[in-house]
């Protein structure tokens, strides 16, 4: 029992390396290597349980913001994510006697994280270990390896240190420290080269000015406030208040869910939007919820301009239990909180189509920032990524700080500026190097503006994403088949 508790404690400590805590990422070695040591001293059943408790300790801390929905939702999702880590813990002991075991260890843990990002019900890949390096000298590696590649490298170096430094009896301690220093220096040099020598070009003469409005909300947490027009009124008021500066911009961004009601079925909402439109020169990208004839909803980004409103993007990667309810019939028997999502959202079917003054801008919505593949789609023809988001449910609970990390990594990975505009914070504008150049904190209201240069070219991360994923898949498949073959030979 004490070993299981130790696994949970180590996992909880590992979560402290992520936002909003931000402990030094180098502690990953102090926290992960003892887990590996503990795990390999167990039988298969214990390895599975150790992995589960390790993962549960990690996700229970990392996803604590979900407790606002309910303790059962928070612990249930933590358990689902931890189950994936239990499988990784069990399988990572294969090929331990091989000199290539660190490669296998990193590949199986990373493959499990990729699967968690897609399964079940579309997946929930929040909290990959590769996120921890965003504020380190190694953050430049995201431009070449991407988030998944950096996650693999993290597991690989941890496993390599376990075998060559922690468990090895060869070499003096001073020699081991020298090896660590040499590896760190080599990775730092690769990181610097990665961020500074990507085939991406920025025009100094072609650009657009983009403004973002954070108008605030009247109600945090689960449910809605008393005034169904509160959020739209706040964003209209903040827009009009900053009208003089906004009218110098080429585009205005409102957050996800900044328009409370379907403007096509609620005449007052449409009236409010058109009245504001008559005072604002540039088009406004507004976040709306649209109902179809089957009462399914779409989370839409629409352009308001010259008295018209039309859709440029519908969210495609939906959040299970947040935007659609798997197992609805079962859950409704267990809790009436399923009624908070009385109608499911439907996924969008097309990429964003938004061009301003000849410059193409990619639109993703909220949780989609965690999906690397969406950011890389046709990125060569886009100059920036716009992310309208709504984090009011999890206000001041740590979720928005975690999303800001994804925003910064997406900027480095794509070599593009990224605008993440929230209803109630944290709104950020991030440059292609991953630096936050302008922000509004939670509970603030206001305006953010920046220029977007026309950007051409691509980062290596955008080109290597699918080959890297395929490599991990083929490596894991080969390793599993080899283990199966060896087990038959020894029987």
pLDDT by residue (tens digit) across 171-217? 677 777 888 889 899 999 999 999 999 999 999 999 999 999 999 99
Q: Using CA of residue 83, residue 88, residue 94, residue 96, what is the dihedral sign? A: negative
Closest by CA to 152, choosing from 397, 384, 473, 455, is 473
The pLDDT score that the predictor gives to residue 225 is 62
Q: Cα(421)–Cα(435) distance, rounded to whole angstroms?
A: 16
Between CA 14 and CA 60 the distance in angstroms is 11
Predicted local confidence at residue 267, as pLDDT: 96
Structure confidence by residue, pLDDT tens digits, 419-448: 999 999 899 999 999 999 999 999 899 999
The end-to-end CA distance of the chain, in Å, is 32
- The number of helices, as runs of H, and strands, as runs of E, in the chain is 14, 12
Q: What pLDDT is stored for residue 427 in this prediction?
A: 97
Distance, CA of 162 to CA of 167 (rounded, Å) = 6
Per-residue pLDDT at 236: 98
Whole-number pLDDT of residue 26 = 96
* Regions of the chain where pLDDT drops below 70: 1, 169, 171, 222-226, 337-338, 340, 342, 487-491
- Check residue 335 and give its pLDDT: 73
CB 387 within 8 A of CB 366: yes
Q: Are 203 and 225 in contact (CB under 8 A)?
A: no
Element (H, E) at 457: strand 446-457
Report CA-CA distances (Å) from 353 to 103, 285, 289, 382, 415: 41, 12, 18, 10, 20
In this structure, is the dihedral angle defined by the CA atoms of residues 36, 38, 44 and 49, taken in order, positive or negative? negative
CB neighbour list of residue 361: distance below 8 Å, 6 or more residues apart: 210, 251, 352, 354, 355, 382, 383, 384, 385, 386, 452
Q: Which distant-in-sequence residues (6+ apart) come within 8 Å of 212 by Cβ?
A: 252, 253, 419, 421, 427, 429, 447, 448, 449
Query: pLDDT at position 59, please?
Result: 98
Residue pair 135/73 in contact (Cβ under 8 Å)? The answer is: no
3-state SS, residue 455: strand
CA dist 433 → 212, 355, 359 (Å): 20, 23, 20
Instruction: Give the pLDDT of residue 480.
Output: 94
Q: What pLDDT was estimated at residue 425?
A: 85
């Amino acid at each position: 029992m004490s070993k299981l508790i130790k696994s949970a404690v180590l996992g909880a400590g590992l979560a402290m390396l992520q936002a909003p805590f931000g402990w030094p990422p180098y502690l990953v070695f102090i926290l992960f290597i003892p887990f590996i040591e503990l795990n390999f001293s167990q039988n298969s059943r214990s390895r599975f349980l150790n992995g589960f408790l390790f993962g549960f300790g990690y996700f229970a801390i990392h996803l604590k913001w979900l407790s606002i929905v309910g303790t059962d939702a928070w612990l249930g999702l933590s358990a689902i994510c931890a189950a994936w880590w239990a499988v990784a813990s069990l399988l990572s002991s294969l090929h331990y006697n091989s000199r290539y075991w660190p490669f296998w260890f990193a590949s199986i843990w990373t493959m499990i994280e990729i699967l968690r990002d897609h399964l079940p019900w579309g997946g929930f890949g929040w909290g990959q270990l590769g996120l921890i390096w965003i504020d380190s000298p190694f953050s430049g590696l995201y431009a070449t390896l991407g988030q998944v590649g950096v996650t693999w490298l993290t597991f690989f170096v941890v496993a390599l240190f376990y075998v060559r430094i922690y468990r090895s009896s060869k070499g003096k301690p001073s020699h081991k420290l020298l090896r660590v220093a040499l590896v760190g220096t080599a990775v730092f040099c690769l990181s610097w080269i990665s961020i500074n020598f990507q085939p991406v070009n920025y025009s100094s003469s072609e650009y657009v000015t983009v403004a973002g409005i954070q108008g605030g909300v009247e109600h945090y947490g689960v449910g809605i406030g008393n005034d169904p027009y509160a959020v739209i009124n706040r964003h209209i008021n903040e827009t009009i208040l900053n009208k003089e500066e906004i009218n110098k911009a080429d585009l205005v961004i409102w957050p996800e869910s900044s328009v409370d009601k379907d403007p096509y079925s609620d005449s007052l909402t449409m009236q409010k939007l058109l009245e504001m439109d008559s005072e604002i020169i540039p088009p406004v990208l507004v976040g709306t919820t649209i109902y179809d004839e089957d009462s399914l909803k779409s989370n839409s980004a629409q352009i308001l301009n010259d008295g018209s409103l039309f859709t440029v993007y519908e969210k495609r990667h939906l959040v299970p239990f947040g935007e659609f309810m798997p197992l609805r019939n079962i859950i409704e028997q267990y809790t009436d909180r399923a009624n908070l999502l009385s109608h499911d959202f439907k996924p969008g079917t097309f990429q964003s189509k938004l061009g301003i003054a000849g410059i193409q801008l990619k639109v993703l919505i909220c949780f989609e920032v965690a999906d690397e593949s969406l950011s890389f789609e046709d990125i060569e023809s886009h100059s920036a990524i716009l992310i309208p988001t709504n984090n009011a449910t999890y206000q001041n609970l740590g979720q928005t700080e975690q999303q800001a990390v994804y925003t910064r990594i997406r900027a480095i990975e794509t070599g593009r500026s990224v605008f993440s505009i929230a209803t109630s914070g944290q709104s950020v504008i991030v440059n292609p190097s991953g630096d936050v150049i302008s922000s509004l904190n939670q509970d603030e209201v206001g305006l953010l503006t920046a220029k977007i240069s026309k950007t051409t070219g691509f980062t290596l991360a955008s080109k290597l994403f699918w080959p890297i994923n395929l490599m991990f898949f083929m490596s894991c498949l080969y390793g599993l088949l080899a283990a199966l073959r060896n087990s038959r030979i020894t029987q």
